Structure 1
Amino acid sequence: MKVSVLLLLLIAIVVVVVKTFNSLGLSVLACLFLYFFNIIWLKPQRLRWKLQKQGIKGPQPSFLYGNVPEMQRIQSTVMKAADHGEIVAHDYTSTLFPYFEQWRKEYGSTYTYSTGNKQHLYVNHPDLVREMNQSITLDLGKPSYVTKRLAPMLGNGLLRSNGLLWAQQRKIVAPEFFMDKVKGMVGLMLESSQPLMTKWEACIEAQGGVMADIRVDEDLRSVSADVISRACFGSSYFKGKQIFSKLRTLQKTISNQSLLFGVPTFGFLPTRKQKEIRSLEREIESLIWEAIEEREQECLGASPSEKDLMQLILEGAINDNSVGKHSSKRFIVDNCKNIYFAGHESTAVAASWCLMLLALRPDWQARVREEMAQVCPDGLLDADSLPKLKMVTMVIQEALRLYPPAAFVSREALVETQIGNITVPKGVCTWTLIPTLHRDPDLWGMDANEFKPERFINGVSNACKVPQAYVPFGLGPRLCLGRNFAMVQLKVVLSLVISNYSFSLSPNYRHSPAYRMIVEPGHGVHVLIQRSK
């Protein structure tokens, strides 16, 4: 009602102005004023009032910027008071996302807030999360203002597309990541991991022959990049290192824009940073397409078993009548960028967190090592032995609970949508903070902030009161299709590392989780490594 009255008042003012001055120029200015005022203030307020009518509270927004100034003030206060690195405290949400934690304590697990002209609904109630998890609707998509910023990194591939386009792409890409296909990649994962063992052996010898202080996260990133390169193009990391290097630079550049603050901008000229992003985007796409064309020539006449991941996906796109030959290049380049980022960066970061946590727990290193000796007495790991490695699976599951690479599940209501007892108006973005959900003592117990892999001994369904609240790979129909690929690669890498080495945290390790599109070790992971006895 308040919105209608205000809108009518504005219209009346515009009419008076037009009648008084009878000027086309003034009429256009008045219409533009009304248009922008509606976008910047009236529409967000209307959405906010619809949520408030349902009993959903939240901080009071300011004009134009919403709650962004308050978010920045809270973040600045926390960062000044933070003492990073001295203690490995696994609950990092109050440091990385302090505004969400402060508002959660004030307004509960469900509240609303604004960033610029975008209205958001924070949802961390397990029942509502379960409702979203079980939903099969396409009416919840990726938030438009976030995906717009991520477009140079992800194109219009699976990670940022919505609706029928997303469903179409998933239908083509998903079969290539089914477990039977992933099992066939175990060999190349083992091959990609062997140079890591060789490098670490050389580091130990170079540092006295007993122990070496190594920053493992960069090495794990190289392994993960090599796996993706071999799987996608049948080539090694050395051939694809330009792509990964430029993707990493692009990721850091985009992360500096603060994806969580959707403040409207009205600049029409590209900034220096935007020009840099566009240049990197063009270079990456050119390199990817060159690799695709080169590999396509190599694979002429090859059998399906000899073709790599990208060739199979490309053929699937060309053969799909809804894609067409003209769109197939855009399809494959965009999804290649998605696979490179999600399959390379996220898996490498997850492996880094696993080693950091295991460095604190030599008893769990011993358990994994003992199980490896039983399952693989000859020391040879293969696809058939991986499902038998229960200990390393539990370690990975617990590491993904405490340090999920993706910090959020974010959705935008593309149409008015019902989630539990909440009607989410069209245009509202929902946010679920995964690490907070994963640390809820009501779901996980009073030891929720402790590293205890044994909680997964009977699987996810028995580790948590609401199994759907365990979401390291996302929610609902957009559940990460690369989860099998990631889990198998993590098992291979961790099993090899733990079989050959024992390790502890280095004095050089500084615990400082950082949010750069994913939650990664801000200063790397330094460990002291020695050969296992």
Structure 2
Amino acid sequence: MLFYSHDNGKLADDLRKEIDAVTLTTKAADGTVTKTLDVTSLKENCPLLLSAYQEVLRDRSMGTSVREVMEDTYLDQYLLKKGAMLQMPSRIIHQDPDLWGDDVAEFNPRRFMPGGATKQPKPSCFRGFGGGKTLCPGRHFATNEILAVVATFLVRFDMKPAGGKKWEFPTTLNTAMAATIMEPDTDVEVEVDVRKGFEGVKWVVRLDDSDKTFAIVVEDKE
């Protein structure tokens, strides 16, 4: 997500504006500046951040849902025999232009925002965390971790490719079949500096209670 944020034109700047708007800034008597990021506030007030996160999962996830066929079933002209195991790779679903539109191969950080895509598939087409009885039980924990790290990094640091090079996405040809996210074959070397004007700032990350649930997958809405 950090790579896409910096590689995708002004996306990093747009995300920073969104995150800065919900960051609490306090100044102590000794002049120490403290900035507090609340993950709950990020999920409730940063739609671009959430959409970009889901788009990264759509574009890079490759998990496979496995189901047992309970009775002989015809799927179009194909007969699925009772007792057989049916495998449904999420990447095939996530890269289907009939579901997502002609720009399915492009990274669109606003795809999951209202009006952010030319074609909105059914919510069940997003399989970033699986679905049904095998839906990942740790999806909200993982989401909190990722959003906290990404948001804190974006507002604290500037990042650019090492050696003055351009952003170049590494190949993922050696990713194991059992992986759920496409893994880079090589490291991405970068140069990181403290964001100008944020030197000496103390950072706090917290997670407040909320009665709202960020619907990552369709099951969260049910």
TM-score higher than 0.5 here?
yes
Q: Post-superposition, which runs of at least 4 consecutive aligned residues in structure 1 deviate over 3 A?
A: 417-423, 459-463, 504-510
In structure 2, the residue corresponding to 1:488 is in which secondary structure? helix
Cα distance, 1:525 vs. partner?
Answer: 3.0
CA contact (8 A) 2:16 2:155 kept: yes
Unaligned runs of at least 5 residues, structure 1 = 1-353
Counterpart selection for 1:401 from 58, 61, 73: 58
Q: CA RMSD in A?
A: 2.7
Q: How is 1:364-443 mapped onto 2 (pairs within 5 angstroms)? A: 364-378=11-25, 379-387=35-43, 388-404=45-61, 406-413=62-69, 415-416=70-71, 418=73, 423-443=79-99
1:398 counterpart letter in structure 2: E
In structure 1, the residue corresponding to 2:10 is in which secondary structure? helix
After superposition, give the CA deviation of every residue in 1:307-356 in whole Å (9 maximum; x if it has no partner). xxxxxxxxxxxxxxxxxxxxxxxxxxxxxxxxxxxxxxxxxxxxxxx122
Q: Quick check: 1:481 aligned with 2:137?
A: yes
In structure 2, the residue corresponding to 1:455 is in which secondary structure? coil
Counterpart selection for 2:2 from 338, 351, 355: 355
Q: Measure the CA separation in 2 of the matches of 1:458 and 1:440.
A: 20
Cα distance, 1:384 vs. partner?
Answer: 3.6
CA contact (8 A) 1:386 1:488 kept: no
After superposition, give the CA deviation of every residue in 1:412-445 in whole Å (9 maximum; x if it has no partner). 33x4354766652134222222222112112111
Q: Measure the CA separation in 1 of the matches of 2:119 and 2:2.
A: 22
Change (3 A) 1:459 1:496: farther
CA contact (8 A) 1:410 1:432 kept: yes
Cα distance, 1:504 vs. partner?
Answer: 3.2
1:522 counterpart letter in structure 2: D
CA contact (8 A) 1:398 1:456 kept: yes
Superposition TM-score, scaled by structure 1 size: 0.31
CA contact (8 A) 2:72 2:80 kept: yes
Q: How many residues align?
A: 178
Q: Quick check: 1:464 aligned with 2:124?
A: no
Cα distance, 1:371 vs. partner?
Answer: 1.0
Alignment partner, residue 215 of structure 2: none
Cα distance, 1:360 vs. partner?
Answer: 0.7
Higher mean alpha-carbon deviation, 479-488 vs 354-363, is at 354-363
Q: Quick check: 1:511 aligned with 2:170?
A: yes
Cα distance, 1:503 vs. partner?
Answer: 2.1
User: Identity over the aligned pairs, expressed in percent?
Assistant: 26
- Which structure has the larger Rg? 1
CA contact (8 A) 1:402 1:438 kept: yes
Change (3 A) 1:380 1:459: farther
Counterpart selection for 1:531 from 179, 187, 194: 194
CA contact (8 A) 1:401 1:472 kept: yes
Change (3 A) 1:407 1:384: closer
Q: How is 1:86-235 mapped onto 2 (pairs within 5 angstroms)? A: none
Cα distance, 1:451 vs. partner?
Answer: 1.1
Q: Measure the CA separation in 2 of the matches of 1:485 and 1:373.
A: 23
Q: Measure the CA separation in 2 of the matches of 1:503 and 1:463.
A: 33
CA contact (8 A) 2:58 2:128 kept: yes
Relative contact order higher in (CA < 8 Å, ≥ 6 apart): 2
Change (3 A) 1:480 1:468: same
In structure 2, the residue corresponding to 1:464 is in which secondary structure? coil
Alignment partner, residue 214 of structure 2: none
In structure 2, the residue corresponding to 1:529 is in which secondary structure? strand
1:416 counterpart letter in structure 2: E
2:3 counterpart letter in structure 1: M
Cα distance, 1:392 vs. partner?
Answer: 1.4
2:137 counterpart letter in structure 1: L
Change (3 A) 1:460 1:425: farther
2:187 counterpart letter in structure 1: G
Counterpart selection for 1:521 from 173, 178, 184: 184
Change (3 A) 1:464 1:375: same
Q: How is 1:326-345 mapped onto 2 (pairs within 5 angstroms)? A: none
After superposition, give the CA deviation of every residue in 1:219-265 in whole Å (9 maximum; x if it has no partner). xxxxxxxxxxxxxxxxxxxxxxxxxxxxxxxxxxxxxxxxxxxxxxx
CA contact (8 A) 1:456 1:463 kept: no
Cα distance, 1:402 vs. partner?
Answer: 0.4
Q: Measure the CA separation in 2 of the matches of 1:524 and 1:435.
A: 23
CA contact (8 A) 2:63 2:130 kept: no
Change (3 A) 1:447 1:462: closer
Q: Measure the CA separation in 1 of the matches of 2:56 and 2:143.
A: 12
Q: Measure the CA separation in 1 of the matches of 2:148 and 2:13.
A: 17
Change (3 A) 1:475 1:462: farther
In structure 1, the residue corresponding to 2:105 is in which secondary structure? coil
Q: Measure the CA separation in 2 of the matches of 1:511 and 1:356.
A: 10
Q: Measure the CA separation in 2 of the matches of 1:433 and 1:447.
A: 20
Q: Which structure shows the bigger proportion of residues in helix conformation?
A: 1
Unaligned runs of at least 5 residues, structure 2 = 26-34, 197-222
CA contact (8 A) 2:39 2:148 kept: no
